[in-house]
Structure 1
Amino acid sequence: MAPTETPPPPTPTFLKLSYPAPRVLLIRMDRPSALNAMSTAAQWEMDAVWKWFDEEALLSVAVITGTGRAFSAGADLKEWNSSMSSDADPGSRMGNAPAFTPLSRRRGKKPVIAAVNGLAMGGGCEFVVNCDLVVAAADARFALPEVRRGIAAIGGALPRLIRTVGLQRASEFALTGRDATAQEMEMWGVVNKVVPRERVVQEAVRYAEMIARNSPDAIVCTRAGLRQGWEVASVEGAVECTLEREWAELQRGENMLEGLKAFAEKREPRWKGSRL
């Protein structure tokens, strides 16, 4: 049985879920024959899993990785091409799906760590840019090759890259469509740590465990403050937004009282599930 209050949504075709440590969810994209590219059905699966993860009180952080030699090649371009045929329903086109790019545009409440085991291309690279921490295999490669296919990286990576790496580097990367190495992405600040491929999931889980030891409510509140600072132009505006929402909820929860009490009593805190 999963160590959760509610059962996870069924994920039979694309995702495999496991629990490598307390309060940690490991999501493995498992479509290696297609470089873990996401069909429309796969996008719906991931959308359902992220919604469940954010509401599941006994989980604090997730790690996502791929199977085989790829993290993810992004959207399934063969399916996308078929959906663009002249006799196809325009409303059914992959790019119009409500669950399109469910991680690259995810805001959510809880942190997600990318364990990039191999190729991260297109939407797969957009996933990485929006993750809270990134651990990459030494031989992983990243690219936004959409411009070479007549499309554009519309899943949120472009403005996020600007904030992370700056205009000139983001322009070079996105307008040329070229590959970048894990070491280059680490230098640019997209990747936290580069490790041998066989250690990439282990290292990501290690980070997840460090996060999961903390107050579930404080994790949600802290991440909200970080995200507001990343996405909102005004620093003070971001602070005020977090104070009005997540900080106000944090103060009403039991975990804040428990953390302070445990400190005063010189013991480890006994956290309850997050209700933020």
Structure 2
Amino acid sequence: MMDFKTESPPPATPAFLKLSYPAPRVLLVRMDRPKDLNAMSTAAQWEMDSVWKWYDKEPNLSVAIITGTGRAFSAGADLKEWNNSMAADADPSQRMGNAPAFKPLSKRLGKKPVIAAVNGLAMGGGCEFIVNCDLVVAAEDAYFGLPEVKRGIAAIGGALPRLIRTIGLQRASEFALTGRNVSAQEMEQWGIVNKVVPKEVVVEEAVRYAKTIAANSPDAIICTRAGLRQGWETASVERAVEWTLEKEFAELQRGENMLEGLKAFSEKREPRWRGSKL
């Protein structure tokens, strides 16, 4: 990694993230909870939120890359912590899904591009991150999934409306409603992944993209990305996410199946679903 100076110091990231600068004007964000498959605890989400806010304000940075340590890109939300937060005596304001920093990348609009270097499995919120990244480089053995329906919860981080815009209703429905895993090669065919490469060069390839972008005008990068995002986001994506979160997900949280799915996951057993009352 090169010796690179930012105008302002980065935020402290002791719990989850490692920051470095692989090239001029390029930030590399590495999720570093390999034993937990880089699942995001509440503390990790706050770190991620602060890093993206700093990145957008830091004038000496133009492009960011996000990747994971170990065999996973990210398994998404820390479901064990989420299960504990759903206990009857827990403070509702502290539930993971209610944290202000929840979904810090999957719902991020931001000013500057983020490239995903997908080094391994990307599940749940980890997959939602990728759907909202500007470019995606994936390892040959990486795979993706939205298994929320198997856990009694739902993918409410922004991926559902964005998937429809990227891959169409039928493919998005197959992906989200079955909860099946999808290979990097299939994701490339669908148009979500830009390039599939050997695992050992996935970050290197992402850096190559980042250096090419960072060589351009910082102002033009921001302006061009804003135009691209307006075409993708305008009118319905955020409205759809907020409507789902405020109406459907609020009902889901009050039901029995979300509690059962999280509890079954923590107890390493198959969930025992109840008939829906939504």
What's the CA shift for 1:231?
Answer: 1.2
What's the CA shift for 1:232?
Answer: 2.0
Match of 2:224 in 1: 222
The Cα offsets for residues 8-60 of structure 1, whole Å up to 9 and x where unpaired, read as 00001100000000000000000000000000000000000000000000000
2:193 match: secondary structure: coil
Write the distance in 1 (CA, Å) between the matches of 2:75 and 2:168. 24
Match of 1:85 in 2: 87
The Cα offsets for residues 123-175 of structure 1, whole Å up to 9 and x where unpaired, read as 00000000000000000000000000000000000000000000000000000
Match of 1:21 in 2: 23
Once the two structures are superposed, the pairs formed by residues 110-149 of structure 1 within 5 Å of their partners are 110-149=112-151
Write the distance in 2 (CA, Å) between the matches of 1:2 and 1:146. 40
Write the distance in 2 (CA, Å) between the matches of 1:181 and 1:66. 17
What's the CA shift for 1:233?
Answer: 5.8
- Normalising by structure 2, we get a TM-score of 0.83
Once the two structures are superposed, the pairs formed by residues 66-105 of structure 1 within 5 Å of their partners are 66-105=68-107
Contact 2:4 2:24 in 1 (8 A): no
Write the distance in 1 (CA, Å) between the matches of 2:52 and 2:235. 27
The Cα offsets for residues 49-80 of structure 1, whole Å up to 9 and x where unpaired, read as 00000000000000000000000000000000
Q: Give 5+ residue unaligned stretches, structure 1.
A: 235-276
Considering only aligned residues, what root-mean-square deviation do their CA atoms show, in Å?
1.0
4+ aligned runs moved over 2 Å, structure 1: none
2:111 match: secondary structure: coil
Write the distance in 2 (CA, Å) between the matches of 1:2 and 1:64. 18
Match of 2:233 in 1: 231
Write the distance in 2 (CA, Å) between the matches of 1:201 and 1:57. 23
Write the distance in 1 (CA, Å) between the matches of 2:129 and 2:69. 15
Question: What code does the residue aligned with 1:67 have?
Answer: T
State the percentage of identical aligned residues. Answer: 82
Q: Give 5+ residue unaligned stretches, structure 2.
A: 237-278
Write the distance in 2 (CA, Å) between the matches of 1:151 and 1:170. 17
Write the distance in 1 (CA, Å) between the matches of 2:7 and 2:49. 19
The Cα offsets for residues 180-199 of structure 1, whole Å up to 9 and x where unpaired, read as 00000000000000000001
Match of 2:47 in 1: 45
- Normalising by structure 1, we get a TM-score of 0.84
What's the CA shift for 1:3?
Answer: 1.4
Give the structure with higher Rg (CA). 1
The Cα offsets for residues 216-268 of structure 1, whole Å up to 9 and x where unpaired, read as 0000000000000011269xxxxxxxxxxxxxxxxxxxxxxxxxxxxxxxxxx
Question: What code does the residue aligned with 2:132 have?
Answer: N
Write the distance in 2 (CA, Å) between the matches of 1:233 and 1:156. 14
